[in-house]
């Protein structure tokens, strides 16, 4: 049986079996669910294609029931096309796509939870932009999706991917770490590079609180998808440049768990602290309650 | 851990607990009722009540009651669809004590007059727990074909049910027994690895001392 419980396990299994990391993760999936390699790959491909569909179906006119979410992805697209893009073409596109998927989720459109609905924009933003920008073969993107899934499974087992138990670091932080690892692979990084990209991304997000306005997956979640996606690119680029994390990747995950436990309840999806109790948030709440 | 719980599920937003989980509770309840819903009283509790509107929880529950799954694009329009089909839906507040923060109490009436009361809890990530059926505590996720048998608390009913399952080559994954009091109402919840044949369920319904049989099929 191929079973992994840590980032170290993934790296050593990849060396022992002389298989790329994504194939180790696929093999483990085939054994766990009793499916063939082709079936597993087809399921992952469907997930990736659904992400693509969500992006393509973005409706710039949609507004969420609270009135807080909608139209930001379109504004970013227009700005990116205006010639004043600060961040470079790839990063501009990453930001635009993260907002689009995050807003689509808030407006009750179909998305892929990756790892959660609140953080569903991070991985598609990084991956779809990379595919478009570099004219990648879709199958190669699906291989990288396995890396994101394997890394996410390790984080879920050793820390958390739920805002209610770990804060936003567990949602956007995890998504960003997963995306960074996949992106490092796509750009030709080896296993060491992949796991250090993961470590950088997660370290940069440690301590992030979950304090959404009115408990809705809108503010600050949607824009944080954009920040998490850009952080994934920063992190992959550092790892690809040969920079290494001083803290071992598994220890970063363990830190995230401890920090999550130490965060007070008011900052873990209860709507009782942080941004959720600001004057502006109260005004939104009054309007919502009045309906 | 299933990697498609990490990348996935495919769902209509915005929240895996308040939207996808709510659809699932509705869907399982519809399956347990075993027929189309004629009317439903939907009583919300805790965070479902407080933030449900912004998360589309009400639309999600109704969509599930109409047989939709969490990735159905019609979820945002479920209230209008229910009205077109003449399904009577009322919403209210559930008065529960120490319940899970994302709980809902559903009182359902089917098209042939069958009734069912279900308490569902959305645990996060789209995972749910059916915590009560007709007032008696239960504990199952709806991930397996699940047989729920209400009987009078007297010797022999467990053997009747498990012998039937053995005879039909249905393996039991988990089994729970509950009763209100000695000799009173009892409930068996049996999660199975295979589907239970429809005629076997009908056979169970006719056994003396068995008051009601509900079954969650994963087919169709």
Query: What is the widest separation between alpha-carbon atoms in chain B?
Result: 49
Q: Which residue of chain A is at minimal alpha-carbon distance from B7?
A: A114
Query: A140: which 2 tokens?
Result: 């190669």
Q: Which residue of chain B is at minimal alpha-carbon distance from A110?
A: B12
Residue A133 has pLDDT above 90, yes or no: yes
Interval A98-112 mean pLDDT: 97
Q: Which residue of chain A is at minimal alpha-carbon distance from B75?
A: A108
Name which of B6, B7, B53 is nearest A65 (Cβ-Cβ): B53
The predicted pLDDT at position A192 comes to 98
d(CA B59, CA A198): 38
Measured over the CA atoms of residue A182, residue A73, residue A114 and residue A254, the dihedral's sign is positive
Query: For residue B104, is it left (φ>0), alpha (ψ between -120 and 50) or beta?
Result: beta
Burial code of B55-90, b = ≥16 C-beta within 10 A, e = fewer?
bbbbbbbbbbbbebbbbbeebbebbebbeeeebebe
Q: Which residue of chain A is at minimal alpha-carbon distance from B46?
A: A270
Measured over the CA atoms of residue A24, residue A27, residue A171 and residue B129, the dihedral's sign is negative
Interval A89-102 mean pLDDT: 98
pLDDT, one tens digit for every residue, chain B (220 residues): 799 999 999 999 999 889 999 999 999 999 999 999 999 999 999 889 988 888 899 999 999 999 999 999 999 999 999 999 999 999 999 998 888 889 999 999 999 999 999 999 998 878 899 999 998 889 999 989 999 999 999 999 999 999 999 999 999 999 999 888 899 999 999 999 999 999 999 999 999 999 999 999 988 6
Interval A1-29 mean pLDDT: 97
DSSP SS3 for A175: helix
Across the interface, whether the CB atoms of A108 and B1 are under 8 A apart is answered no
pLDDT band for position A289 (50/70/90)? confident
Interval A232-255 mean pLDDT: 98
Best residue of A56, A145, A217 to probe chain B, by most B CBs closer than 10 Å: A217
B10 contacts chain A (CB < 8 A): yes
Sort out which chain B residues have CB atoms less than 8 A from A150's CB and list them: 3
Helix (H) or strand (E) holding B119: strand B115-124
B75: DSSP letter: G
pLDDT winner (highest mean) among A157-166, A247-256, A279-288, B14-23: A247-256
Across the interface, whether the CB atoms of B54 and A153 are under 8 A apart is answered no
Assess contact for A37 and A210: CB atoms under 8 A: no
d(CA A284, CA A214): 8
Interval A19-45 mean pLDDT: 97
Instruction: Give the residue among B18, B4, B84, B215 at the shortest CA–CA distance from A50.
Output: B4
Nearby residues of A48 by Cβ (< 8 Å), 6 or more positions away? A127, A138, A141, A142, A145
B21 contacts chain A (CB < 8 A): no
Of all residues in chain A, the percent with pLDDT exceeding 70 is: 100
CA distance A86 to chain B (A): 30
For chain B, what are the domain ranges?
3-133, 146-216
Name which of B1, B10, B56 is nearest A110 (Cβ-Cβ): B10
The predicted pLDDT at position A127 comes to 98
Best residue of A48, A113, A145, A158 to probe chain B, by most B CBs closer than 10 Å: A113
Query: B30: which 2 tokens?
Result: 């519809």
The predicted pLDDT at position B50 comes to 83
What is the end-to-end Cα distance of chain B in Å, rounded? 26
> How many A/B residue pairs have CB atoms within 8 Å?
127
Query: B12: which 2 tokens?
Result: 């209509």
Question: What are B180's strand-pairing partners?
Answer: none
Helix (H) or strand (E) holding A259: helix A249-262
Instruction: Give the residue among B147, B158, B133, B154 at the shortest CA–CA distance from B200.
Output: B147
Instruction: Give the residue among A117, A179, A108 at the shortest CA–CA distance from A148.
Output: A179
Sort out which chain B residues have CB atoms less than 8 A from A120's CB and list them: 13
Sort out which chain A residues have CB atoms less than 8 A from B10's CB and list them: 46-47, 50, 110-113
A210: DSSP letter: B
Classify residue A217 by burial, with Cβ atoms within 10 Å: 0-12, 13-18, 19+.
Answer: buried
3-state secondary structure A44-110: HHHHHHHHHHHHHCCCCCCCCCCCCCCCHHHHHHHHHCCCCCCCCHHHHHHHHHHHHHHHHHHCCCE
Across the interface, whether the CB atoms of A25 and B3 are under 8 A apart is answered yes
Name which of B2, B3, B15 is nearest A117 (Cβ-Cβ): B15
User: How many CB atoms are closer than 10 A to CB B123?
Assistant: 14
Compute the radius of gyration of chain A from its Cα atoms.
19
Nearby residues of B74 by Cβ (< 8 Å), 6 or more positions away? B63, B68, B81
Query: For residue A274, is it left (φ>0), alpha (ψ between -120 and 50) or beta?
Result: left
User: How many CB atoms are closer than 10 A to CB B134?
Assistant: 17
Question: Class of B146-216 per CATH?
Answer: alpha beta
CATH code, B3-133: 3.30.1330.90
Helix (H) or strand (E) holding A202: helix A191-205
Across the interface, whether the CB atoms of B20 and A44 are under 8 A apart is answered no
Instruction: Give the residue among A180, A177, A185 at the shortest CA–CA distance from A136.
Output: A185
The predicted pLDDT at position A65 comes to 85
Sheet holding B37-45, edge to edge: B88-93, B37-45, B102-110, B115-124, B127-133, B136-140
The predicted pLDDT at position A269 comes to 86
Query: A154: which 2 tokens?
Result: 């390790």
Instruction: Give the residue among B78, B62, B54 at the shortest CA–CA distance from A107.
Output: B54
d(CA A208, CA A238): 21
CA distance A109 to chain B (A): 5
The predicted pLDDT at position B165 comes to 97
B2 contacts chain A (CB < 8 A): yes
Nearby residues of B206 by Cβ (< 8 Å), 6 or more positions away? none
Of all residues in chain A, the percent with pLDDT exceeding 90 is: 93
CA distance A83 to chain B (A): 33
pLDDT band for position A77 (50/70/90)? very high
Sort out which chain B residues have CB atoms less than 8 A from A32's CB and list them: 2
> Strand B172-179 vs strand B146-152: parallel, antiparallel, or unpaired?
unpaired
């Amino acid at each position: 049986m191929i079973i992994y419980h840590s980032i170290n396990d993934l790296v050593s299994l990849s060396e022992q079996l002389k298989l790329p990391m994504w194939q180790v993760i696929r093999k483990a999936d085939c054994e766990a669910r009793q499916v063939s390699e082709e079936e597993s790959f087809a399921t992952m491909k469907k997930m990736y294609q659904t992400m693509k569909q969500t992006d393509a179906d973005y409706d710039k006119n949609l507004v969420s029931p609270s009135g807080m979410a909608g139209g930001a992805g379109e504004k970013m697209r227009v700005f990116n096309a205006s010639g004043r893009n600060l961040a470079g073409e790839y990063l501009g596109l990453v930001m635009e796509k993260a907002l689009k998927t995050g807003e689509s989720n808030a407006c009750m459109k179909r998305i892929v939870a990756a790892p959660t609905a609140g953080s569903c924009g991070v991985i598609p933003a990084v991956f779809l932009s990379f595919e478009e920008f570099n004219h990648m073969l879709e199958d190669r993107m699906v291989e990288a999706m396995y890396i994101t899934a394997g890394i996410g499974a390790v984080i879920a087992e050793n820390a958390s991917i739920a805002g209610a138990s770990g804060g936003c670091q567990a949602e956007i932080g995890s998504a960003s770490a997963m995306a960074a690892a996949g992106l490092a692979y796509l750009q030709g990084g080896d296993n060491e590079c992949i796991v250090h990209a993961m470590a950088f991304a997660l370290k940069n997000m440690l301590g992030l609180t979950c304090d959404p306005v009115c408990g809705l997956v809108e503010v600050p979640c949607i824009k944080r998808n954009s920040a998490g996606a850009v952080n994934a690119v920063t992190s992959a680029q550092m790892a690809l440049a040969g920079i290494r994390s001083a803290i071992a990747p598994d220890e970063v995950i363990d830190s995230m768990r401890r920090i999550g436990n130490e965060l007070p309840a008011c900052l873990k999806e209860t709507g009782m602290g942080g941004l959720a109790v600001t004057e502006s948030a109260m005004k939104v709440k009054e309007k919502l309650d009045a309906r | 851990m299933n990697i498609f719980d990490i990348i996935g599920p495919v769902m209509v937003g915005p929240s895996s607990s308040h939207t996808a989980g709510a659809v699932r509770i509705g869907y399982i309840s519809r399956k347990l009722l075993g027929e189309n819903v004629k009317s439903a009283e939907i009583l919300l509790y805790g965070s479902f009540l407080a933030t449900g509107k912004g998360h589309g929880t009400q639309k999600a529950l109704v969509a599930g009651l109409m047989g939709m799954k969490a990735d159905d694009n019609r979820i945002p329009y479920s209230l209008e669809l229910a009205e077109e089909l003449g399904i009577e839906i009322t919403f209210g507040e559930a008065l529960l004590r120490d319940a899970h923060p994302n709980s809902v109490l559903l009182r359902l009436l089917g098209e042939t007059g069958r009734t069912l009361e279900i308490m569902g809890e959305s645990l996060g990530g789209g995972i749910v727990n059916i915590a009560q059926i007709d007032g008696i505590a239960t504990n199952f996720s709806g991930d397996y074909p699940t047989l729920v048998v209400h009987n009078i608390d007297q010797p022999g009913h467990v053997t009747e049910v498990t012998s039937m399952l053995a005879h039909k080559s249905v393996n039991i994954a988990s089994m729970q027994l509950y009763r209100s009091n000695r000799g009173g109402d009892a409930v068996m919840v049996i999660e199975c690895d295979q589907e239970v044949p429809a005629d076997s369920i009908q056979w169970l319904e006719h056994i003396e001392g068995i008051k009601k049989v509900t079954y969650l099929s994963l087919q169709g």
